[in-house]
Amino acid sequence: NAGVMQNPRHLVRRRGQEARLRCSPMKGHSHVYWYRQLPEEGLKFMVYLQKENIIDESGMPKERFSAEFPKEGPSILRIQQVVRGDSAAYFCASSSGQNYGYTFGSGTRLTVV
């Protein structure tokens, strides 16, 4: 079991471009969570998804950010028209939803230049 896989590890985008961050949960996990770690700040919850459903997106910025977790394939966090303030580490975690057993990925570090 390869654990939670996030790619790419590092992503550089120019202002105005789109960023796509991928997260493949652990085998058997159907719950995916995205968190953002801004410089000098802690981890902030963004969105919680189950297969084909967004359960809680209370931490997502209202504009430019979207997330999906399709029936097949990884979960995608999409940031349109990136700005410098989007530069951060984005972590994905998955769980089976049974025993609070979260597993985190290694994160994607997004740099907007």
Partner 1 sequence: AQRVTQPEKLLSVFKGAPVELKCNYSYSGSPELFWYVQYSRQRLQLLLRHISRESIKGFTADLNKGETSFHLKKPFAQEEDSAMYYCALLDAGGTSYGKLTFGQGTILTVHP
Quickly tell me which residue has 């972590």 as its tokens: 91
Task: State the Cα–Cα distance between residues 48 and 57, nearest whole angstrom.
Answer: 6
The end-to-end CA distance of the chain, in Å, is 35
Around Cβ 72, how many Cβ atoms within 10 Å? 6
- Among 19, 23, 24, 35, the residue binding partner 1 under the rule CB under 8 A is 35
Please tell me whether residue 98 adopts helix, strand or coil conformation. coil
CB of 72 to partner 1, least distance (A): 22
Instruction: Decide: is 41 part of the binding site for partner 1 (CB under 8 A).
Output: yes
Q: Bridge partners of 93?
A: 33, 104
Instruction: Decide: is 33 part of the binding site for partner 1 (CB under 8 A).
Output: yes
Encoded one letter per residue, x for contact with partner 1 by CB under 8 A and - for no contact, window 43-82 reads xxx--x------xx-x------------------------
Nearer residue to partner 1 within complex by CB, 18 or 102: 102
Instruction: Decide: is 36 part of the binding site for partner 1 (CB under 8 A).
Output: no
- Type of residue numbered 20: R
Q: What is the DSSP letter of 51?
A: T
* Chain residues in the site for partner 1 (CB under 8 A): 4, 31, 33, 35, 41-45, 48, 55-56, 58, 91, 93, 95, 97, 100, 102, 104-107
